[in-house]
Amino acid sequence: MKKTWMLRQLIQSKKMAFIMEAHNGLSAKIVQESGFKGIWASGLSMSAAMGVRDNNEASWTQVMDVLEFMSDATSIPILLDGDTGYGNFNNARRLVKKLEQRQIAGVCIEDKMFPKTNSFINAESQPLADIDEFCGKIKSMKDAQMDEDFVVVARVEAFITGRGQEEAFKRAEHYRQSGADAILIHSKRSDISEIESFMKEWGDRLPIVVVPTTYYKTPTSRLQELGVSLVIWANHNLRASIEAMQRISSQILQDANLLRVEGSVAPLEEVFRLQDAEELKLAEQRYLPFL
């Protein structure tokens, strides 16, 4: 089954779906094994894992290299957080071409300016993209895709930057008319009032994607009632790994031995299993002479 088709089904199905953040080949594989049907290649998480900021400090080809490992390690679809498309329409349409070559199922672009800043940092002072310019970008991406099922999600940052419902709705509607396959409506509030008012007005014009990082206390059943199509758990593997690595590193430093940590980390056998070391053993028996 094509990954693009699988992502399209997740977004278009009546049943609300969930995708989970990954930021490298290993975390992508773990997301798949845990049972998720799709992966969010988070810009925040990939940049943090590379040791840089979520401000397009990593080049788009460096992001592409990470994606290639994630895609090779998995068979479920990946939705890339493509930030602003890394430039103007021309950069964004070339991005689509290169993503398709690596079997990435879709990309989400946000209506901010390059270089972007994470939505939870100085949100109110972040400039938004010009609507017509952003619409041209969406059109160029849809025109560039070779696979009809490749998904382009347009992300509306109006609420994030302190603008209201009217601006959010106007932008979403323009992006819909420009050919976006879904709208990601983002909010930094700890309640879902913005998402709620948007959904009530939006109806079922186009599938809606949300990222409940800050309004996680809202039961997900409420999002389903409102008609949300796709929920992104955006950064929790990264945050889990930070906490685990900080704990283990300081404990080993303090103890100068491994006695207290050995039982609380994954056994080496688990690392080898995740790398599929067994397959290489079998291949060697088949292909290497004199074994």
Applying CB under 6 A, among 25, 38, 43, 207 the residue interacting with ligand SPV is 43
Sign of torsion, CA 35 41 42 48?
A: positive
Residues 11, 37 contacting (CB under 8 angstroms): no
For Mg ion, give the closer residue by CB, 2 or 62.
Answer: 62
* 216, two tokens: 């996680």
Return the range that interacts with ligand SPV (CB under 6 A); candidates 36-44, 89-97, 127-135, 242-250.
36-44
Using CB under 6 A as the binding rule, the residues of this chain from 68 to 107 that contact ligand SPV are 81
For Mg ion, the closer CB: 53 or 98? 53
Q: Does 161 bind ligand SPV (CB under 6 A)?
A: no
Q: For Mg ion, how many residues bind (rule: CB under 5 A)?
A: 3
140 Cβ contact list (under 8 Å, min separation 6): 89, 90, 92, 93
How far is the C-alpha of 257 from the C-alpha of 251, rounded, in Å?
9
118 near ligand SPV, judged by CB under 6 A: yes
Q: How far apart are CA 168 and CA 195, in angstroms?
A: 10
Closest CA to 159 of 147, 151, 175, 170: 170
Of Mg ion, ligand SPV, none, which one sits near residue 71, judging by CB under 5 to 8 A according to partner kind?
Answer: none
| CA 77/CA 252 separation, integer angstroms | 37
- Name residue, tokens 């056994």: 267
* Per-residue interface string for the shown chain with Mg ion, residues 149-188, x marking contact by CB under 5 A: ----------------------------------------
Q: How many residues bind ligand SPV (CB under 6 A)?
A: 10
Cβ neighbours around 143 below 10 Å, total? 11
The one among 25, 38, 43, 77 contacting Mg ion by CB under 5 A: 43
* CA 75 to the chain's CA centroid: 16
Site for Mg ion in 237-256 (CB under 5 A): none
With CB cut-offs between 5 and 8 Å by kind, which of ligand SPV, Mg ion, none does residue 144 bind?
none
Minimal distance in Å, beta carbon 36 to ligand SPV? 15
Residues in contact with ligand SPV, shown as a per-residue x/- string from 203 to 222 under the rule CB under 6 A: --------x-x---------
- Is the Cβ of residue 110 or residue 181 nearer to ligand SPV in the bound state? 110
| C-beta separation of 131 from 171 below 8 A | yes
2: its two tokens: 């094509």
- Minimum CB distance to Mg ion, residue 184 (Å): 10
Instruction: From 211, 120, 205, 145, select the one nearest 171 (Cα to Cα).
Output: 205
CB of 39 to ligand SPV, least distance (A): 12
CB 47 within 8 A of CB 57: yes
Look up residue 186 and give its DSSP letter. Answer: -
Active site residue 54: yes
Rounded Cα–Cα distance for residues 124 and 230 (Å):
26
Contact string (CB under 6 A) for ligand SPV, positions 2-21, x = contact: --------------------
**Positions in 52-111 near Mg ion (CB under 5 A):** 81
In terms of Cβ atoms closer than 10 Å to its own Cβ (0-12, 13-18, 19+), residue 194 is buried
User: Can you give the binding site for ligand SPV, defined by CB under 6 A?
Assistant: 42-44, 81, 118-119, 211, 213, 234-235
User: Can you give the binding site for Mg ion, defined by CB under 5 A?
Assistant: 43-44, 81
